[in-house]
Amino acid sequence: MKRLLLRLLLLAVSTAVFLGLAEWGFRIFGPRPDHGALYYADADFLEVDLNTPDGQARALKVLEQVPDAPRFRMNFKPGVTVHLCYRGMEGRDHFDDHGCVEFVINARGIRDREELCEPKPPGQRRVLCLGDSTTVGWGVPLETTWVRGMERNLRSEDDAIRTVNCGAAGAQCPDEYLHGLQHRFAAFEPDVVLVTLCPNDLLPVNGGMAQFNVEAQKRAMAPVPAWAGWSDFLTRTIRVARRADTLRLPPERDVVAELLALRPDEYPINGPREMGDIYWQSGNPQRSLLGIHAWCQERGIPFGVALWPFLQQLDSREAHPLVELHDLVGTFCEEHEIPYLDLLDVFVGQEPSALWLTPKDMHGNPEAHALTVPAYSAFVRALLADH
């Protein structure tokens, strides 16, 4: 009996020591609650925090309103340098020692080379790339974006080709792409126009660059059991485990149909609801794409559409929660004879988390951009052949 009690005592002591060491290690080496969280900084790496007077003053130095846009929209001022920064990412991967990625904006307000602001030289052919964050290269160096990678690929056969990155340049929705093309980006004298859409251009999704399982999110936010309250390690471990399935949606749910059935007053807050009725069910994206198509046809310029998927549930094409949206856009483009590139097929079979910028930002990292370059290059090469 004494031997049993001694063993139980040793087990309890060793368990306590293990948990203590584990918590110590988790506190030192484990991710902070804000690990991977985004913030903005100016050219001097001073944070642009809109909640402080200093941050607001810095924002006014680098931002300006886009004139006559379909809705209120801000853009970086021409000629400024800003930084997208991620907490806890200092010196890791492609981030600099501040955990940042530099955005240098040229004289025409886009994240690209200054030379493109000059009149197009004789013989040069330009591919105008319209889109939002996945086009501009959100959180990745300019040279690692798919736009620049595609240019290198195309120039290996024809050095006269240049890509023009108009991503997220005060235009982040299909009607804004049309407006930007008509009033701003036509000055680049394109020979091809390529629009890259994301699901958040087309549907009122509830989570940035992913569609979250709302029920799983609620479970993840629920209070942890009372017995874990004494330990930050146990509390955080339970929360991490609960979050594991927030990006997996039940296969029996028709997520796209659910989102298409929503009224504007039912859209998720913090983004979609403020945007209004601009999504696929309103017909706004379809009209805008047809407007770009008509603009290009009048000038004899080839036009193509690509759709970049949310990087989640990539086990197979059928397993992706928004595959019906990809098919919907494909059918629309086919009906109107618009060349279409579905990038979901490029990512199928990949581990989603290996393609994210950070655990809190599911935009594509440089590896994700690189995966798309062969498909983009072949697609645009075919468009150029028609011009």
In this prediction, residue 217 carries a pLDDT of 65
Greatest Cα-to-Cα distance within the chain, rounded to the nearest angstrom: 95
What is the pLDDT at residue 87?
A: 93
Considering the entire predicted model, what is its pTM?
A: 0.88
Q: At what angle do helices 146-155 and 366-385 cross, to 10 degrees?
A: 50
Cα 279 from Cα 271, distance rounded (Å): 12
Specify the pLDDT at position 235: 64
In angstroms, rounded to a whole number, what is the distance separating the alpha carbons of residues 84 and 357? 12
Secondary structure of 149-192 in HEC code, one letter for each residue = HHHHHHHCCCCCEEEEECCCCCCCCHHHHHHHHHHCHHHHCCCE
pLDDT along the chain (387 residues), means of 10: 51 44 40 71 93 90 93 94 95 95 97 97 98 97 98 98 96 95 97 98 91 75 64 62 75 92 89 88 97 98 98 96 97 98 98 93 97 98 89
pLDDT of residue 215: 76
In the numeric block, which tokens belong to residue 30? 């484990």
Q: Rounded CA gap, 372 and 145, in Å? A: 10
Q: What CATH class has 38-207+266-385?
A: alpha beta
Q: Give the tokens for residue 285.
A: 């994206």
What pLDDT does 24 receive? 39
The secondary element (H helix, E strand) that includes residue 40 is: strand 38-41
Looking at residue 8, the DSSP 8-state letter turns out to be H
Q: How many CB atoms lie within 10 A of CB 218?
A: 11
Can you give the pLDDT at residue 269?
A: 82
Q: Tell me the C-alpha distance between 357 and 363, whole Å.
A: 6
